[in-house]
Structure 1
């Protein structure tokens, strides 16, 4: 127990996110880029399914490591070595994403299981209290059940590999969503010493740098198509959509969430909702980045079904994810997000008749509309003597 007390973050501590943690995140921003390129190269239902399976694995590695770094004191040398070692293994795992359904599936699975099982086993040696010990025992048990599916998939062709890995990812995600419950064992979030504000800061920063990767993808696409007659228009539309996505979270939603969290006794369950929402938002950002690149590179072509689903699916998934989060955590009906999703569905239905650049404009407009609505609602609800407010600081 002495070691546990030395490694656990002090109760009530909300220390700022460290530079090492942000450095660690860069490996996973690289993974987001790899996933975007995989979907761009395979814009089919099978390619989308492969991308989703890989995203689940990447996200679970990042989020479980982030939870550990939030529970434990990141000033301790043991945590430095843990993060750096996971960073090393993750670098090779994420580098193999493009070839995971080819010749290097073994490398992706080896990295994934080594991190998930190894980190969980290490946590059980730290002498945690009963609640945390039970949590990590259950987590490790669920991971050991899914591991044979991941391992078996390595030995099959891409079609069967997708079946086995899909089952493994579904099992891991189900365990995550159920907080790794097992029959006869009760879970109690109020007993988990989680620094709520810190975990939300962690999620927000990762979301921001993942959004920055989308900007990088857009910039690369612009640089490759500078001679295009509509490059100024398509590039501006892509950036406008990204700015709207940033605005929809950082203008007021983050501050409202932190204010609500300050009065909540249980920081564990809101943190779980935030983490699950982040995975949805990452999937949305991948779709948005791929859609922007398709519109920039082929602006005058009429989009096929895959392009329309990517162009409109990203913004719709983003707004839907935020809608669920707002309802679950803030307890209010997110009308603007629901209207935005409805408008996207209607516009998607007619986009097959339009050039890709017009379809891209249609996909970005609801995002911009929601961002403007948020700003107007905030201004109307602000007391007359309140100072001018802007996007919340990160």
Structure 2
């Protein structure tokens, strides 16, 4: 028998009264500015939320594939801009202020309901369906504005300046989108285009001003992962475009080969973004964070547009030359993807650690982008266009890989320290 006294048993944790626990779970206020959780990971709720955008982007890309004209392309760009702005607002709010509770879940599910309804009208946004889409989008912006306001009223006075500006821009957006509903289709698209450009420009200025002297960090691994996941969403349109093209076309050796080459172009998109940009934190100060955020819009738009172009590329696989609009869409999409990557690289936190390495990679990307535009102008046969674009993407990755090896590391290694 031991003479030592027995260890005290741990006190049982006290239960929470049902009423108090329910109220806390349903009505707990959001996290205030500055209460960023740096160690959190992307939640199942965020992944579920992003799935709705798969449908929205898919509807817009499907319409572009069926109406591959200058007007169709412009409509796609404007509608995609609206979709991306909505996604950015929902993503940033959860990143900065969301919690794993009933209040946050309820608001996100309401957003998902509105987004699902919007998906019904996105495909014909340049027609009468645009009226309903404008109203639904205004309601969504109003809900997002309310969420940002719930944070604003909790913030200490010294942190309210930037949120106040953000709220003003959001309220203006609600009014503009609601006012666009009764306009003619052409006028409505013009208003939407101005809204997308103006919203991004103004918010970019606000963000740059806010991060000039940051009082706390806002970027976490989870936020970087969310942006990468959105790229995965739009890359799915490349796969869908190839499958739809092969499904609707009489399949033969040339058609199947063109489809597989088109799919490989999507692989090239992924490989360059995954190794050059993803999983790398941006700088928090100056214009770097704003550039990193807003450069992702044209990047993701270009990838989704390429996915829409895949349908026609496969359908015209046996043509001697690629149709004009399709050739420019494919070449332009690859060029935009490469140029936005050039813009993104200097925003990364580790850019200054290897400036000669990064600048040489940027030069290679610019050269490949010019070559992609030249291919769009030359209009080779669809299979040759897909093969040439694939080789350009492959060449840029190989060049970067060799340069990283010469620096004593691997291209896909996460920088440390």
What TM bracket, shorter-length normalisation?
A: 0.7 to 0.9
Could you list the per-position Cα deviations for residues 118-160 of structure 1 after superposition, in whole angstroms to 9, with x for gaps in the alignment?
2222322241234653333212212333444433332233222
Could you list the per-position Cα deviations for residues 224-281 of structure 1 after superposition, in whole angstroms to 9, with x for gaps in the alignment?
33523412311221121111111112235334x23xx5xx5x3685443232122111
> Does structure 1 retain, via aligned residues, the 8 Å contact 2:309–2:330?
yes
Counterpart of 2:169?
Answer: 142
> Does structure 2 retain, via aligned residues, the 8 Å contact 1:237–1:364?
yes
Counterpart of 1:163?
Answer: 190
Counterpart of 1:179?
Answer: 206
Q: Does 1:346 align with 2:374?
A: yes
Counterpart of 1:118?
Answer: 143
Counterpart of 1:99?
Answer: 124
Counterpart of 1:324?
Answer: 343
Counting matched residue pairs gives 376
Counterpart of 2:214?
Answer: 190
Q: CA deviation at 1:310?
A: 0.5
Change beyond 3 A, Cα 1:247–1:100: same
> Does structure 2 retain, via aligned residues, the 8 Å contact 1:8–1:73?
no
Q: CA deviation at 1:12?
A: 5.2
Task: Spell out the pairing of 1:1-394 with structure 2 (5 A cutoff).
Answer: 10-11=35-36, 13-126=38-151, 127-130=154-157, 133-179=160-206, 188=212, 190-225=214-249, 227-255=251-279, 257-258=280-281, 261=282, 266=284, 270-301=288-319, 302-329=321-348, 330=351, 332-333=358-359, 334-351=362-379, 354-382=380-408
**CA distance, structure 2, for counterparts of residue 33 and residue 232 of structure 1:** 22
SS of equivalent residue, structure 1 residue 83: helix
> Does structure 1 retain, via aligned residues, the 8 Å contact 2:328–2:373?
no
**CA distance, structure 2, for counterparts of residue 130 and residue 367 of structure 1:** 49
**CA distance, structure 2, for counterparts of residue 186 and residue 237 of structure 1:** 45
**CA distance, structure 2, for counterparts of residue 267 and residue 186 of structure 1:** 9
> Does structure 2 retain, via aligned residues, the 8 Å contact 1:73–1:79?
yes
**Unpaired runs of at least 5, structure 1:** none
Change beyond 3 A, Cα 1:356–1:172: same
Could you list the per-position Cα deviations for residues 265-317 of structure 1 after superposition, in whole angstroms to 9, with x for gaps in the alignment?
x3685443232122111111122112222111111222333112101011001
> In terms of Rg, which structure is larger?
2
User: Greater CA deviation, 297-306 or 282-291?
Assistant: 297-306
**CA distance, structure 2, for counterparts of residue 375 and residue 240 of structure 1:** 18
**CA distance, structure 2, for counterparts of residue 267 and residue 218 of structure 1:** 41
Could you list the per-position Cα deviations for residues 168-202 of structure 1 after superposition, in whole angstroms to 9, with x for gaps in the alignment?
22322222222278xxx976561355143221111
**CA distance, structure 2, for counterparts of residue 80 and residue 268 of structure 1:** 33
Change beyond 3 A, Cα 1:99–1:348: closer
> Does structure 1 retain, via aligned residues, the 8 Å contact 2:212–2:285?
no
> Does structure 2 retain, via aligned residues, the 8 Å contact 1:39–1:51?
yes
**Unpaired runs of at least 5, structure 2:** 1-26, 353-357
SS of equivalent residue, structure 2 residue 123: helix
**CA distance, structure 2, for counterparts of residue 380 and residue 66 of structure 1:** 37
Change beyond 3 A, Cα 1:335–1:48: same
